Amino acid sequence: MLDLWASDSGKQPLLRVQKVRSSLLYTSQRAFPGLSTLPSARMSYLANSLFVRNLSPQVTETVIREVFSSCDEIVKVSFKPYPNNETQFFAQVDFKTSMGVSEGSKLTGTKILGCACSCSVIDPIRQADQARQALAAGDVQLDPRTLVRSSSTPQSLVHAVLVHVSSQVWLSATSSRLHRAVKASAAIMRQDLINPEWTTDVYRTLPKVSHVDVFVSHSWSSSQFLKTLALCLFMNMWMAVKAAVATWIGLSFALVVSMGGPFSLGGTDMLWLTAVLVYLPVAVFVTVLLFGQTITCGRFSPSFWFDRLCVQQNNEEMKKMTIAALPVFVASSSRMLVLGDDTYFERLWCNLELAIFAKCSSDPGAVQYMPLWLAPWILSTIFMDIICITIAPPLESFALDHLSTRIQESFPEDSTMKFFLMLMLTWIFPGMCYLPAALPSFFSHVRKIRQHELTLQHMDCFNIQNAKCTCEPDREIIENQVLELFDDPVEVSNHTDSPGKGHLSPVDNRSPWRRPSINSSWNDRERRKRFRNFNRYVHGPLRESVLRGLGKEVDMPWSLCLICFMPLVFYSAVSVLGCDGNRCDVTAEEVGYDTALQYVVANALSWILGFGLVIPTTHPILLRMVKVVLTVSKNVPTQVCLTAVCTVGAYAWVFTCQGVMTATMTTAIVRLSPSFFAALVLQLSLLTLQLWYFFIRSRLQAQTAHSPQEDCYMEFQ
Q: pLDDT value at position 164?
A: 47
Taking all residues of the chain, what is their mean pLDDT, rounded to a whole number?
69
From residue 40, give the alpha-carbon distance in Å to each of 34, 51, 53, 55, 56: 12, 14, 9, 8, 12
H or E segment and range at residue 481: helix 474-485
Sheet with 25-28, strands from edge to edge, namely 25-28, 42-46, 49-53, 85-95, 74-82
Better-scored residue on pLDDT, 605 or 59: 605
**Angle at 429 (CA atoms; ends 683, 438), nearest 5 degrees:** 90
pLDDT band at 399 (very low <50, low <70, confident <90, very high): low
Specify the pLDDT at position 374.
87
Residue type, 571: Y
Name the residue among 256, 496, 270, 510 with its Cα closest to residue 394: 270
Q: What percent of the chain has pLDDT over 70?
A: 62
H/E segment holding residue 128: helix 128-137
pTM: 0.69
Q: What is the pLDDT of residues 471-521, one digit of tens each?
A: 777 788 788 777 777 765 554 443 333 333 333 333 333 333 333 443 445
Contacting residues for 358 by C-beta, under 8 A, at least 6 apart: 364, 367, 505, 541, 542, 545
How many C-beta neighbours within 10 Å does residue 78 have? 11
Q: State how far the alpha carbon of 176 is from the alpha carbons of 171, 202, 334, 428, in Å.
A: 9, 17, 19, 64
> Which is it for strands 15-20 and 2-6: parallel, antiparallel or unpaired?
antiparallel
Q: How confident is the model at residue 689, as a pLDDT?
A: 94
Amino acid at 202: V
pLDDT for 167-224, tens place per residue?
A: 444 444 444 567 777 776 555 544 455 455 555 667 777 777 777 888 888 888 888 8
Residue-wise pLDDT for 30-67, tens only, equals: 233 332 222 222 233 322 233 333 345 555 555 555 55
Dihedral sign for Cα atoms in the order 145, 147, 152, 157: negative
